Amino acid sequence: MLWIKAFHIVFVVSWFAGLFYLPRIFVNLAMVPEGSSAERDRLLLMAKKLYRFVTPIAALAIGFGFWLWFGYGFGGGWLHAKTALVAGLVVYHLWCGRLLAGFGQTGAQRSHVWFRFFNEIPVLALVAICILVVVKPF
């Protein structure tokens, strides 16, 4: 089970790297001046490649997490809270995909300030998940 836990941690860290960086690209896309198509196209290409790269990593992180869950058993309210937060991160990940598709079709639909706040959601989730896993408050 320690190998499974190690792989789970590796894929979670990798997934979070993508969740931290992709919305940051959205901030930059929202700030691209009108008519600067080369910059916009380059940022869109980066975002699309990152999203395609991070999506299977997210699936692996979740898969190894389920493996751990079933291997160690179903116990504690902290695990249910963590699972709810992970489900929220999956929704966030899919939302990023929809936002990315929107950038490709119509450009920025929201301001760079909105994307700056949007960018902080995974940070808050990571802090909460780490506290739940390490402290197990309930």
Burial 17-38 (b: 16+ CB within 10 A, else e): ebbeebbebbbbbbebeeeeee
Q: What is the pLDDT of residue 108?
A: 75
Q: What is the pLDDT of residue 105?
A: 87
Q: Is the pLDDT of residue 112 over 90?
A: yes
Q: Is the pLDDT of residue 52 over 90?
A: yes
Task: Give the residue-averaged pLDDT of 21-49.
Answer: 95
pLDDT-derived band of residue 109, with 50, 70 and 90 as boundaries? Answer: confident
Q: What is the pLDDT of residue 73?
A: 78
Task: Give the residue-averaged pLDDT of 97-125.
Answer: 93
CA–CA separation, 127 vs 84, rounded Å?
A: 14
